[in-house]
Amino acid sequence: MSEIRFVDTTLRDGHQSLWAENMTTGMMLPVAKRIDDAGFEAIELISSSHLKKCVRELKEDPWERVRLIAQRITKTPLRLIAGRVNTFEITPQSVYRLFIERMAANGMRQARISDEWNDFEGWRRKVQCARDVGMDPIVNIIYSVSPKHTDEYFAERTRQAASLPIYRLCLKDPGGLLTPERTRALVPIVSRNSNGIPVELHTHCTTGLGALCALEAIKLGIKTVNTAIPPLADASSNPSLFNVAKNARALGYTPAIDEEILKPVSEHFTFIAKREGFPIGAPVEYDYAQYLHQVPGGMVSNLRHQLRKVGKEDMVGEALEEAGRVRAEFGYPIMVTPLSQFVGSQAAINVIVGERYKEVTDQVIQYALGLWGKEGSDSMDANIKDKILSRARAKELAKWEPPEPSVAEVRRKMGGRGVSD
């Protein structure tokens, strides 16, 4: 049978999912060359959220991370996760373009691009930015479960993405919501509508099914799977490279990866996990409730924290149920950043206050106004939308337009003597 190739997520999604992005550059450098030599098709390294984490908490220079890793990983393309620059504010196009240009200049060669609505116009702008600076763009088709996320929906969005000048498509399942049955139905649909563009799979193990879905995708013709190296695999992270490779080999496929060279990498990160008290990823039990509320694992802990601050931690179950109701009333947004945070925060507020939508955040008002995507505003429950937009604050925000400053204007506002881009 054919070769199966892998994209490594350990240095990005692995520790983002399990270690809250607490892997330092110093933890990465000793094993970077081994990861480079293992034969991965690409290596994920960084996203915009890591920049803030590096500066605010780890007290590191994220650009130095990119440069130092790029000096050691020279054979395998380094991949940037190129979604939003500022998670909870609307990023000016000039800032996004500068972000992509600087990442390319410092050694990133691929950009995996998301739009939280799987929106063609959002993809188009980002793909053009990546192409302009010489990066290969990979477009995510983000998987979700709702009445509107049908087979035809995914076929149409795949055709739209495939009409762009992209390097590859990625069926991305950030919530770990794929089941083997849904994988068997969806992978052929995406493949048939991909216009011959290669498709890779990115899933999580949140419901315990990630590795099994990866094998189903392989049997259906997927040649590239995103995996992580233990202890940064499983749980809410991506499937284990060792597990997927072993099972693919048992099915008669040839994993194009050197597992032996990666065993010391696994030992290195296991030692760090024990030393620092970081979680060690392990397979989880199947949890059907995940399909009802679809709140990502990291957000569940945030909900619990919000409720704990007001002495209502015992209401986390109620808040998760409320998140399912809020998501339906918001028109079934895909539960990815920042939309999942809007849903989860509003659910927590509803539970804490005791009256639904008595209080709302500015972002929820902006969502209802269409500032976070026209699809969201258009598909909201009409009564809930009216309730949100009937308050005085909504009338103020309705007059606001997201600023689009030039790079020169941003430099004048945010920069300083000797501060580079």
The per-residue pLDDT for range 58-83, each reduced to its tens digit, is: 999 999 999 999 999 999 999 999 98
Fold match, 3-276 / 293-398: no
Q: What is the mean pLDDT of residues 220-224?
A: 98
Confidence check: pLDDT of 275 > 80 = yes
Confidence check: pLDDT of 417 > 70 = no
Q: What is the mean pLDDT of residues 190-196?
A: 98
Q: What is the mean pLDDT of residues 334-346?
A: 92
pLDDT at 264: 98
pLDDT at 410: 84
Would you call 81 exposed, middle or buried from its count of C-beta atoms within 10 A (0-12, 13-18, 19+)?
buried
Distance of CA 54 to the CA centre of its chain: 18
Confidence check: pLDDT of 86 > 90 = no
Q: What is the mean pLDDT of residues 197-226?
A: 97
Of 91, 132, 138, nearest to 114 by C-alpha is 138
pLDDT at 61: 95
pLDDT at 313: 86
Q: What's 91's DSSP letter?
A: P
Confidence check: pLDDT of 7 > 90 = yes
Please say whether the structural domain 293-398 has been given the CATH code 3.30.750.24. no
pLDDT at 9: 98
pLDDT at 298: 64
Domains in the chain: boundaries: 3-276, 293-398
pLDDT at 90: 84
CA distance to 68, 83, 259, 334, per residue, from 25 (Å): 8, 22, 23, 32
Q: What is the CA radius of gyration of the chain?
A: 21
- Of 84-88, 362-366, 374-378, the range with the lowest mean pLDDT is 84-88
pLDDT at 94: 92
Average pLDDT, the chain: 94
Q: What is the mean pLDDT of residues 306-326?
A: 89
Confidence check: pLDDT of 116 > 80 = yes
- Written out in words, the top-level CATH class of the domain with range 3-276 is alpha beta
Q: How far apart are CA 395 and CA 408, in angstroms?
A: 32
The per-residue pLDDT for range 18-58, each reduced to its tens digit, is: 998 999 999 999 999 999 999 999 999 999 888 889 999 99
pLDDT at 110: 98
pLDDT at 297: 66
pLDDT at 81: 95
Q: What is the mean pLDDT of residues 341-357?
A: 93
CA distance to 15, 46, 74, 277, 343, per residue, from 272 (Å): 12, 20, 25, 8, 35
Confidence check: pLDDT of 273 > 70 = yes
pLDDT at 207: 92
pTM value is 0.94
The per-residue pLDDT for range 294-312, each reduced to its tens digit, is: 887 667 766 777 788 888 8
pLDDT at 337: 86
CA distance to 18, 280, 375, 379, per residue, from 277 (Å): 12, 9, 42, 44
| H/E element, 171 | strand 168-173
First to last CA, the chain: 48
- pLDDT confidence band for 242 (50 / 70 / 90): very high
